[in-house]
Structure 1
Amino acid sequence: MTGGTLAPQSTRVAILVPFAIVTLIWGSTWLVIRDQLGTVPPSWSVSYRFLVAGIAMTIYAAARGESLRLPPRGWLFAAAIGLSQFCLNFNFVYRAEAHITSGLVAVVFALLLVPNAVLAWLFLGQRMGRQLVVGSLIAMAGVALLFLHEARSGARGPHETLVGIGITLLATLSASAANVLQATGTAKRYPMMPTLALAMLMGAAMDAVVALLLTGTPVMEWRIGYVAGIVYLGLFGSAIAFPLYFGVLRVIGPAKAAYASVIVPVIAMLLSTLFEGYRWSLLAAAGGVLTAIGLVIALRARRPPR
């Protein structure tokens, strides 16, 4: 500790490497989610995704010798994560992409930084230092430029755009609640892998209930692309990415961890350039550069004392 501040743990290799892996994986998932829409109702696709993820996490926890036997409070905590992160969040995300482009959903979701910082301050007492605030403002200016570009290029009209943005904001709030829960002392009382396995399995069950109520009996599409997408989203986008992300979050806090969602739109657009013929405008390029600059400034910020 020097000068009343704590060293920025977010610049350590042990944090930067998983952070980079998570952003790369989640930057690619938006394209895959887009392909999931169509024949199968969104809630069933989400349920299949987290069923695959939950099974994978269970096998991994068992291989590590970790049991899924948690005390009642542990089950309640896992259920809260399952509801907020793996049910509400993703049901909103998948439905939002039916109204607006995946790029615009990714851009709006970058606003996760704001509720994460506010909720971490309210419930965890984590203050935002001056450098983190400056980095956040620069990054959000970049996100605003990306948003403006995507909104201008949207061809579905203002009503559909507003509906999609509203649904994405609900997803953001749900994800933020789960993020802050993972940063609490309660989360650290239980082993992460078994807790996440249970949360994903319970989330998949909740998604199935939602699907039954909204769309009826299960629907499956046996197209190779769809099945491969479920496997990719379940294994890479969930079973690998979430443990890495929550591990980082527990060290650097929800505000800084939310920068994964800030840089993800840039990665999503880079991948879209390669696979969808996405064309960068001056606005989009400027937004991408500002976002990257803000990310570097914020991640190098020292944590102020409480």
Structure 2
Amino acid sequence: MSTAIAAPARSASTPSSRPQPMSRLFLVCVVLAICIWGGNWPVMKFGSQFIPPLWFAASRFLSAAILSFIIAAALGKLRLPTRQEWPVVAGVGVLQMGLFTALVTGALHFVMPGRASLIAYATSIWVVPGAALVLKHKLSTQQSLATVCSYAGMAVIVLPALLHADMHSMIGYLMLSAASLSWAMNILQIKMTPGVKLDFDLLPWQTLVAAVPLCVLALLVDGAPTFLADPHSWGVIAYTGPLATALTFLIVLQMTQRLSPVTVSVCMLGVPVVGLTLSSLVFGEKLSADLLLGMGLLCLGLVLPALPSLSLRRVLSKA
């Protein structure tokens, strides 16, 4: 599994901020990750009806950790992270996995999954200024156009919901915004640590770092995992854990390391496009004109980073 999506070997001196070209296989893996995570939103909303939020997040990463350790041991890749790797392992486990998922699953008790998925994956709101200030990252023509389209799409979709939100919904939106910030912080942390390769070797420890505190909190807050007596919970955990975590996080972490932070944050907006579409089919969340326009802008922003390099003069001369 890891060999299919592993990034090409490179020396630690190579700047992590230099964007890597997308091969066809890697692009297929990115699309697969986006579709799996997009489908995860309706699954999480369904599972939130009978699984408490903290146990939902804990069971997701505990199942992914168990599977990852078994596969790593079978492949002979099970090892302890080095001293240089532990900060990144902790950052991914705490910020991108544990905190993000706990906030998201909690927010789904307050809002519908469609628009909610957009707010949670709107990391570009934080990553674009963060990359400019912290990493001194300059946007290419495609990144600039993609960022404008993604910001416009987010505004078209989110603002109407925020303007008409009651206090109950606003709690959910605030939790989703905090989740988005948490992930954005981890993206920047990874880009600031060029000497660490995020291959399958580290995935068991990342999921374990996320699972342990979540399990402790779940026991203290929600009590024993009585939801396991419900047969529906096992199907939900099977999707959210091994599939939407063990496999998908590996692809996304490779994206974070290989591509620029702005490109990663824009690509992740494909997740809510899938989530919105599936939410409309499963939960009857209406695809209004603002949703369709916003999704169109997001799709345009999603496609732009994968196109061949554009010259700004050439674009302006054809305008």
**For the residues of structure 1 that align with 2:308 and 2:160, how far apart are their CA atoms?**
29
Q: Secondary structure of the equivalent of 2:34?
A: helix
Please tell me whether residue 40 in structure 1 is matched to residue 40 in structure 2.
no
Which residue in 1 is equivalent to 2:155? 144
**For the residues of structure 1 that align with 2:288 and 2:278, how far apart are their CA atoms?**
15
Specify the code of the residue in structure 2 equivalent to 1:175: W
**For the residues of structure 2 that align with 1:116 and 1:281, how far apart are their CA atoms?**
28
**For the residues of structure 1 that align with 2:309 and 2:132, how far apart are their CA atoms?**
16
Deviations 1:196-244 (A, max 9, x none): 2101012100101222333334443332322111111001110110111
**For the residues of structure 2 that align with 1:198 and 1:19, how far apart are their CA atoms?**
23
**For the residues of structure 2 that align with 1:39 and 1:247, how far apart are their CA atoms?**
33
Q: Secondary structure of the equivalent of 1:94?
A: helix
CA shift for structure 1 position 10: 4.9
Q: Is the 8 A contact 2:149 2:298 kept in 1?
A: yes
Which residue in 2 is equivalent to 1:77? 88
CA shift for structure 1 position 24: 0.3
| 1:1-306 equivalence runs, <5 A | 9-148=20-159, 150=161, 157-185=165-193, 188-189=195-196, 192-300=199-307, 302=309
Specify the code of the residue in structure 2 equivalent to 1:237: A
CA shift for structure 1 position 62: 2.2
**For the residues of structure 2 that align with 1:123 and 1:250, how far apart are their CA atoms?**
16
Deviations 1:116-136 (A, max 9, x none): 233333443332224312221
**For the residues of structure 2 that align with 1:293 and 1:56, how far apart are their CA atoms?**
36
Q: CA RMSD in A?
A: 2.6
Specify the code of the residue in structure 1 equivalent to 2:111: I
Q: Is the 8 A contact 2:162 2:170 kept in 1?
A: no
Deviations 1:233-277 (A, max 9, x none): 001110110111111221112211112331212111222233333
- Aligned residues with identical type, % of pairs: 24
CA shift for structure 1 position 11: 4.7
Q: Is the 8 A contact 1:11 1:299 kept in 2?
A: yes
**For the residues of structure 2 that align with 1:65 and 1:183, how far apart are their CA atoms?**
28
Closer, same or farther in 2 for the Cα pair 1:23/1:141, shift >3 Å? same
Closer, same or farther in 2 for the Cα pair 1:98/1:303, shift >3 Å? farther
Closer, same or farther in 2 for the Cα pair 1:260/1:219, shift >3 Å? farther
User: Given the two structures, how large is their TM-score scaled by the length of structure 2?
Assistant: 0.83
Q: Secondary structure of the equivalent of 1:169?
A: helix
Q: Is the 8 A contact 1:8 1:302 kept in 2?
A: no
Q: Is the 8 A contact 2:35 2:274 kept in 1?
A: yes
Aligned residues: 295
Which residue in 1 is equivalent to 2:4? none
User: Given the two structures, how large is their TM-score scaled by the length of structure 1?
Assistant: 0.86
Q: Is the 8 A contact 1:11 1:300 kept in 2?
A: no
**For the residues of structure 2 that align with 1:301 and 1:196, how far apart are their CA atoms?**
32
**For the residues of structure 1 that align with 2:310 and 2:84, how far apart are their CA atoms?**
31
Which residue in 2 is equivalent to 1:3? none
**For the residues of structure 2 that align with 1:264 and 1:51, how far apart are their CA atoms?**
23
Gaps in structure 1 of 5+ consecutive residues:
1-5
**For the residues of structure 1 that align with 2:140 and 2:274, how far apart are their CA atoms?**
27
